[in-house]
Chains A and B, each alone.
Chain A
């Protein structure tokens, strides 16, 4: 993918959130996107047509993360009210609430079969919640982190969490082991490369780091943006050629994956870019910001 293919042209602007948008995520096929924010709502959009489809309200405080199953039938979300909500997408009703985190929930993710919601909390723990049974107790609590867990990635067999204690921990369910990769810097957000071999970890020293998952080798560092105090997402393009990350000054940076050079940076938002999400197939990207907008970027 050449640099010109990077989505740098502003497309639709999705407005509706009152206040900061904390996360924006494409769904599995990239036709829709979800956002959540400080206004305690989750919103479902069609980013390509720029229309707002639905609002999900139930959270008591800000919603920090949202994830949708691959069949688009269920949502999970978590936020400052320490609960994880399990939603029905169509009806907009909460199917289940999972309580148990002692602090705000920073990130939630479904597993592949949408049978388990894994949540990461400010209470230094990862919790797995069962969606199949009616139990609202966590089926697993991982509390080996020593600080707030900021972000999670799930593979078919692993749970990966990034924490402010500077570690990225991989919990291999199949092997029954935990791999702790200590980066030495608070990890803000982790995101997995599409080939599943690398982990992109956004650290609070304004550096995004690329880790090899098997060897825990630090492959590359991406700098230039500002990431000091906010939870800023980072992601890879769907071709794994570029690294994308938001900055606290409202711009979005594009790095070349291999040589870590800043390929491009666009002045995207007025304020902190909280989240970026790349389309799974097309050259399209959405970004959300504290200024209350979600922007769709196309080539």
Chain B
């Protein structure tokens, strides 16, 4: 290229291409800017874009950017932290917390302020754990341990028990025990009983399960198995780690049955088969009831590997689908093999290793203490030591009425004593009698003077107190003394009771609930109430006298109530397993007796083989229990509104019943309310119209000169009017801040610029002069305020929707103030407050519409125009200047001020008419070129008049409402016209653009 260029000869200067120029300029500007940036002091530096312009964010987001020296530290501003991780450079997990963003001093401040629970109220032991952890960490820093890294949370436990644990321990809870509520489920209890029996079995004969007899072991075992049987779930909140003796040679933590818990059972039973003398494990296996519940997953088909194993997978259908007896011969079970090989030698001492002898008494025998003997005459029913007089009958007529004794002192004394006795009981009477034996004043206590009166008085007092206490009792005590039924609980919790259950709860208490309760209480206390209902004790165990005796004792305990006691103590010679089994039998038998269905075959089967199969057992109970309940079901039909979705209707080939109707309010929000609202809003809109008519009927419809004239002007000459709109703000400020004479001159200058406007102004002034009452109106205006609102008629010309909306809003607000709706409400003081409320609503609407700016502009323009009308108006508007300022601060205040200024006299009743009159005049003078329009309104108002009168005569209530509305309406229209004007203005702007 270079060599080529050398050959050419260039004449003149080459014309740079257009884009070259711009780019070069750009570059230059950028270079300039950057140079500037470098040279300028940091606070003077500005951010410029590629074009070299200052960056502008907009007025509301900070104006011009001032560079990032006074904003943020980077060119991009705040950048979100991006996650970057590559193979070589692994991203670290950064734990951000508030401390990362704080300065040193702030951090110090924070440290002091951190909140924690004091150990006293440390319910969950969190703070204690935290302390302990910190301590451990500190210690670790001092002397690094073998395991590096932070201390795991699990290792550090709170030094003290939390208050919650303490409380629980106080209440009798022990570590490892589940905190579960009573299961009302009968089947559950039966299952539990069964499990108990089973556990007892295995404790009896299995050496492998040493700690089996304890529920703690149950928990821990289930832990290792990770099963979700329902009772385990409830106990999972208290993990307690009980050491299981390691008896196999698997690795630590290895569980060969982890995924096949069924086999664990199998194996266990096999082991016990081999060892246990006279075991009944076959029964265990057959019976699904006795089988370990946790193993009962739906057979055959597990769930996916990723899905968790929860209660849903439990086989609710309780099997019936049997497995083939598949054995897994686990070879790596040396203990078992050893057992097998040594079996012959061990035979004599079953369950003992060679070289060991069985202990004569097992360590695992539960030590039992006999509970205290309950006295025979003890009634396990607590009588509340309330006022002792509650027991007497209220129907008792009491001693006859006796005139009070002559002695006034005595009377007072008797009265006092009677009250006290009534309050404190008979004891007080005795005491005072004893004390005042010698005192003749107290002779009425022993039958002397005034005894009859005393008796009567006492009775009366007691009557009084009785009523009170009865009330109290009704309120508080009676439900407590009653059994807490499901219904009662539901009621307490605010649940809706089911139809039937609420009806015959009284009958079911006696039968089923008693049973349930007994099940629930069977461990600790039993319920005495149904003992009387206990049928004649059948003798199911006639063959075995001792057993029968025990059974009777069992029944006695069961129904007599009190602490469960002697049964276990007496039968202590029996093994745990046998006892549990027998107890199970007894339960069943008692249940059957209870049902009155004690048939021969059951008894024989009981005494014979004790083969209560699970299914039959549960089932029989259930059906019988059900039969005991009389049922009277009444179907209650309730009808609701329901809205099918349009597409559903379409798919069902039906016509949408709600087609075209507005979407309903959410149903939960009580339909009645919404109904009220809708009806009211409809009414309100109607009223709105009538009010408008009424207002119109009072005076010649007076369109606010501003809006109409502008409209007209707009009609006449679309283009020019906007110009004045633009310039008006200047006028306004002048109108406010300068004096009158200045105004006139200043105003005239813009008018000169715009001849059209001048003409218009001239027209209006002319019209005013022609109207004749110019001066008068001026005077009025000085005293009053020019009502800033447009008459409603303009509203109506615009469109009907906004007023309706307003009406809606209003009506809603009014519904929340029902107190104020007095039928005879006239224009008195309380209305002021309502007006304010009213005003707020309109204000709220305004803000919602986001028209504040626009409306202010509108008002500005309005005032500007009035200013342009001449001197008097100017004064007027200047007077209104501060008012205007206030206007956009607080709407309520604004309204109050405007209303107060509108009525210099405080005869509020006349305010309205005055204003109307004034407006009338105003309209006469003001409304200029809109004569024809006025006529139109006039005629319309006439047409509507009839409707309004009809409305008025409808009812007093609605009438009053009308009044209210008619009073409210000005305040509402306070804003809307401005808004509308601004809207029209914006419209115009848009059109111009």
Decide yes or no whether B651 CB sits under 8 A from chain A. yes
> Least Cβ distance of B632 to chain A in Å?
9
> Least Cβ distance of A10 to chain B in Å?
18
Partner of B641, one of A112, A178, A183: A178
Decide yes or no whether A47 CB sits under 8 A from chain B. no
Decide yes or no whether A157 CB sits under 8 A from chain B. yes
> Least Cβ distance of B637 to chain A in Å?
4
Decide yes or no whether B643 CB sits under 8 A from chain A. yes
Among A28-36, A202-210, A254-262, A276-284, the one that faces the other chain is: A202-210
A179 touches B638 (CB 8 A): yes
B639 touches A178 (CB 8 A): yes
A290 touches B317 (CB 8 A): yes
Decide yes or no whether A184 CB sits under 8 A from chain B. yes
B320 touches A271 (CB 8 A): yes
- Among B647-666, those with CB < 8 Å from A are 647-649, 651-658
- Among A190-247, those with CB < 8 Å from B are 205-207, 209, 211, 216-218, 221, 226, 228-230
Among A68-76, A91-99, A139-147, the one that faces the other chain is: A139-147
B320 touches A116 (CB 8 A): no
A292 touches B499 (CB 8 A): no
Decide yes or no whether A134 CB sits under 8 A from chain B. no
A20–B313 Cα distance when bound, in Å, is 12
B636 touches A182 (CB 8 A): yes
B304 touches A139 (CB 8 A): no
Decide yes or no whether B10 CB sits under 8 A from chain A. no
With A18-B301, A144-B640 in contact, do A292 and B321 touch (Cβ < 8 Å)? Answer: yes
A156 touches B301 (CB 8 A): no
Q: Which residues of A contact B647 (CB under 8 A)?
A: 130, 139-140
Q: Which residues of A contact B622 (CB under 8 A)?
A: 226, 228
A166 touches B320 (CB 8 A): no
Partner of B320, one of A18, A139, A179, A290: A290
A176 touches B626 (CB 8 A): no
Decide yes or no whether A89 CB sits under 8 A from chain B. no
> Least Cβ distance of A233 to chain B in Å?
15
Decide yes or no whether A27 CB sits under 8 A from chain B. no
> Least Cβ distance of B591 to chain A in Å?
16
Total number of A residues with any Cβ neighbor in B under 8 Å: 63
B640 touches A20 (CB 8 A): no
Among A1-9, A48-56, A167-175, the one that faces the other chain is: A167-175
B648 touches A140 (CB 8 A): yes
Decide yes or no whether B254 CB sits under 8 A from chain A. no
B654 touches A174 (CB 8 A): yes
With A61-B303, A184-B501 in contact, do A173 and B649 touch (Cβ < 8 Å)? Answer: yes
Q: Which residues of A contact B317 (CB under 8 A)?
A: 20, 38, 230, 271-272, 290
Q: Which residues of B contact A218 (CB under 8 A)?
A: 633-635
Partner of B651, one of A40, A139, A228: A139
> Least Cβ distance of B465 to chain A in Å?
41
Q: Which residues of B contact A146 (CB under 8 A)?
A: 496
Cβ-closest chain A residue relative to B301:
A39
Q: Which residues of B contact A228 (CB under 8 A)?
A: 622, 626
A184 touches B657 (CB 8 A): no
Decide yes or no whether B642 CB sits under 8 A from chain A. yes
Decide yes or no whether A285 CB sits under 8 A from chain B. no
A184 touches B642 (CB 8 A): no
A132–B629 Cα distance when bound, in Å, is 49
Decide yes or no whether A12 CB sits under 8 A from chain B. no
Q: Which residues of A contact B638 (CB under 8 A)?
A: 179-180, 182
Decide yes or no whether A60 CB sits under 8 A from chain B. yes
Q: Which residues of A contact B187 (CB under 8 A)?
A: 229
Decide yes or no whether B329 CB sits under 8 A from chain A. no
A175–B640 Cα distance when bound, in Å, is 11
A132–B649 Cα distance when bound, in Å, is 13
Main secondary structure of the interface of A (DSSP, over half): loop
With A130-B651, A139-B651, A216-B637 in contact, do A176 and B298 touch (Cβ < 8 Å)? Answer: no
Q: Which residues of B contact A272 (CB under 8 A)?
A: 317, 320
> Least Cβ distance of A137 to chain B in Å?
10
Decide yes or no whether A23 CB sits under 8 A from chain B. no
With A39-B301, A156-B652, A271-B320 in contact, do A185 and B500 touch (Cβ < 8 Å)? Answer: yes
CB 8 Å contact bits of B488-502 with A (1 = contact, 0 = none): 000000001011110
Decide yes or no whether B954 CB sits under 8 A from chain A. no
With A80-B312, A180-B637 in contact, do A185 and B623 touch (Cβ < 8 Å)? Answer: no
A247–B111 Cα distance when bound, in Å, is 68
Q: Which residues of A contact B654 (CB under 8 A)?
A: 157, 173-174
Partner of B304, one of A60, A177, A271: A60
Q: Which residues of B contact A172 (CB under 8 A)?
A: 642
A39–B615 Cα distance when bound, in Å, is 24
Partner of A176, one of B307, B320, B496, B643: B643
Decide yes or no whether A104 CB sits under 8 A from chain B. yes
A175–B639 Cα distance when bound, in Å, is 11
CB 8 Å contact bits of B2-45 with A (1 = contact, 0 = none): 00000000000000000000000000000000000000000000
Q: Which residues of B contact A206 (CB under 8 A)?
A: 623, 626
> Least Cβ distance of A238 to chain B in Å?
25
> Least Cβ distance of B625 to chain A in Å?
10
B312 touches A61 (CB 8 A): yes
> Least Cβ distance of A175 to chain B in Å?
6
B499 touches A183 (CB 8 A): yes
Q: Which residues of A contact B499 (CB under 8 A)?
A: 166, 182-184
A176 touches B657 (CB 8 A): yes
Partner of A20, one of B321, B636, B643, B658: B321
B657 touches A19 (CB 8 A): no
CB 8 Å contact bits of A151-163 with B (1 = contact, 0 = none): 0000011000000
A178 touches B640 (CB 8 A): yes
A291 touches B642 (CB 8 A): no
A185 touches B498 (CB 8 A): yes
Q: Which residues of A contact B658 (CB under 8 A)?
A: 176
B635 touches A19 (CB 8 A): no
A175 touches B657 (CB 8 A): yes
Decide yes or no whether B644 CB sits under 8 A from chain A. yes
Decide yes or no whether B667 CB sits under 8 A from chain A. yes
With A18-B300, A39-B300 in contact, do A181 and B637 touch (Cβ < 8 Å)? Answer: yes
Decide yes or no whether B224 CB sits under 8 A from chain A. no
B298 touches A113 (CB 8 A): no
Decide yes or no whether A115 CB sits under 8 A from chain B. yes
Q: Which residues of B contact A38 (CB under 8 A)?
A: 298, 301, 317
> Least Cβ distance of A198 to chain B in Å?
12
Cβ-closest chain B residue relative to A146:
B496
Q: Which residues of A contact B316 (CB under 8 A)?
A: 229-230
B637 touches A179 (CB 8 A): yes
> Least Cβ distance of B67 to chain A in Å?
50
> Least Cβ distance of A58 to chain B in Å?
13
With A18-B300, A113-B653, A184-B501 in contact, do A209 and B644 touch (Cβ < 8 Å)? Answer: no
With A113-B651, A270-B320, A271-B317 in contact, do A184 and B623 touch (Cβ < 8 Å)? Answer: no
Q: Which residues of B contact A177 (CB under 8 A)?
A: 639-642
B300 touches A19 (CB 8 A): yes
> Least Cβ distance of B633 to chain A in Å?
6
Partner of B644, one of A39, A111, A140: A140
A205 touches B648 (CB 8 A): no
A98–B577 Cα distance when bound, in Å, is 53
With contacts A128-B645, A140-B647, A144-B667 known, what are 15 further pairs, Cβ within 8 A? A139-B645, A139-B647, A171-B642, A174-B657, A176-B656, A176-B658, A177-B642, A179-B638, A179-B640, A181-B637, A184-B501, A207-B633, A218-B633, A271-B320, A272-B317
- List 7 A–B pairs whose Cβ atoms lie within 8 Å, in order of A's numbering: A130-B647, A171-B642, A179-B637, A184-B503, A216-B637, A221-B631, A272-B317
**A-B pairs with lowest CB-CB distance, top 7:** A184-B499, A271-B320, A176-B657, A178-B642, A216-B637, A184-B500, A290-B317
